[in-house]
Amino acid sequence: MGLLKHLLFWPVTGPNFLARFSLEKVQDTVRQELTDDSRIKEELLALQIQLEFGEIDDAQYLEREADLMRQLREVREWREEFGMGIAGGPVRVAGAERAEPTASEDAGAPARPDDADVQVHLGFDDPAD
């Protein structure tokens, strides 16, 4: 909720405030906050490290984990609400089988989905940077 909290308590300095933050921009920012799970996932990682290094016990871990899972679910639901990505349910190959040539596609082209995007990292990450 970091950025959202920041916005809510932004000192109101008069007419300039509205000029700088149009309603649209506020809506964009709110949407970003609601649908971004990266901070929650970072917290989850940090929590797991705490458990791994014995800084917290299992009970403390599970309690905090349950809270983070709840937050993740909320983000998933907001993402679905905004039509952003899959909420974690069953998936299938995009455009498979049901692919019929549409007006924008080449009528003679085979209905084979695009190959996946793949990166195999076989180099060495530069240390200390």
Partner 1 sequence: MAKSVRTTGDDRESAGQGKYVYCIIKQSEPREFGDHGIGTASRVYTVHHEDLAAVVSDTPLKVYDPTRENVLAHEYVNEVVMREFTLIPMSFGTLFRTEGDIVELLRSTYDTFDDVLQKIEGKLEFGLKVLWDRERVIATLEDSDMELRRLRQEIAENPQGATYFTRVELGRRVEEALEAAGDRYVRDIHTALKPAAVASRANKPIGERMILNAAFLVDRGHETEFDEAVKGISRKYEGQLTFKYTGPWPPYNFVNIKLKLEKAGS
Considering only 1-9, 11-19, 101-109, 117-125, which stretch makes contact with partner 1 by CB under 8 A?
117-125
- Closest approach, Cβ 61 to partner 1, in A, equals 7
Minimum separation from the CB atom of position 94 to partner 1 (A): 4
Q: Give whichever of 17 and 84 is closer to partner 1, judged by the CB atom.
A: 84
Residues of this chain, 48-67, that bind partner 1 according to CB under 8 A: 48-53, 61, 65
User: Per rule CB under 8 A, is residue 24 in the interface with partner 1?
Assistant: no
User: Which residue from 81, 84, 101, 105 is in contact with partner 1, where contact means CB under 8 A?
Assistant: 81
Q: Which is nearer to partner 1, 6 or 70 (CB)?
A: 70
DSSP letters along 56-87, please?
S-HHHHHHHHHHHHHHHHHHHHHHHHTT-S--
| Residue 32: φ, ψ to 5° | -60, -45
Residues 6+ apart with CB under 8 A from 123: none
The answer to whether 17 touches 46, Cβ cutoff 8 Å, is no
**113 SS3 class:** coil
